A and B are shown apart, each in its own frame.
Chain A
Amino acid sequence: GAVVSQHPSRVICKSGTSVKIECRSLDFQATTMFWYRQFPKQSLMLMATSNEGSKATYEQGVEKDKFLINHASLTLSTLTVTSAHPEDSSFYICSARLASLYEQYFGPGTRLTVT
């Protein structure tokens, strides 16, 4: 149980375009989902917390107008990188959490490359 999927796993886009990444909890309902960014050889950095039916809470330094998060249902959250630039190239990982538990279950990640 507790499987989280992400789509796409890899995406290459041109500078200035927008990219949407989907995060789905496959076998449970996640009231909260999280979006992380990971640079090569580094740990995970939390970008935002997404609660179903409400606006996402962004971490300090993360531009909410650039990284649009939508959590429309208990099994789906999306991250849209708007007007992407090469410096947005990174590994983006989502996680989902059951309401009553501490643990977060992570998706397999999405490798974004902006050319």
Chain B
Amino acid sequence: TQLLEQSPQFLSIQEGENLTVYCNSSSVFSSLQWYRQEPGEGPVLLVTVVTGGEVKKLKRLTFQFGDARKDSSLHITAAQPGDTGLYLCAGAWGNEKLTFGTGTRLTIIP
């Protein structure tokens, strides 16, 4: 079973600060996705990365896929209360099922 460990598990920071969330595995992925989930709702796709070393930016969010395609990071600049939520990474091998990470629960304090 391939495992995806996310760190930190919980993070609470002040509005305006920067933060990084990590997603690590011992397995190589063909693609990795990041999702954000709010309470009582389904996850919403933020980004997909497929190439080792790839960096993608989505406004204040920067996603990076590790060179070896075993890990990924999500960096948020100038966090806002609307960024609060559960952030999940998910890895896939080929066009197969996703394995979800353990999750990072982010709270931005106004």
Residues of A within 8 A of B (CB): 4, 6, 34, 41-46, 49, 91, 93, 95, 100, 102-109, 111
Contact = CB atoms under 8 A, between A and B. Distances in A.
B43 interface: yes
Interface size on B, as a range, is 20 to 34
Contacts of A6: 42
Closest 6 CB pairs of A and B: A106-B42, A102-B31, A43-B103, A44-B100, A43-B100, A109-B42
B100 A103 contact: no
B103 to A, nearest CB: 4
Interface of B: 30-31, 33, 35, 40-45, 48, 50, 88, 92, 95, 97-103, 105
B43 A102 contact: no
B41 A109 contact: yes
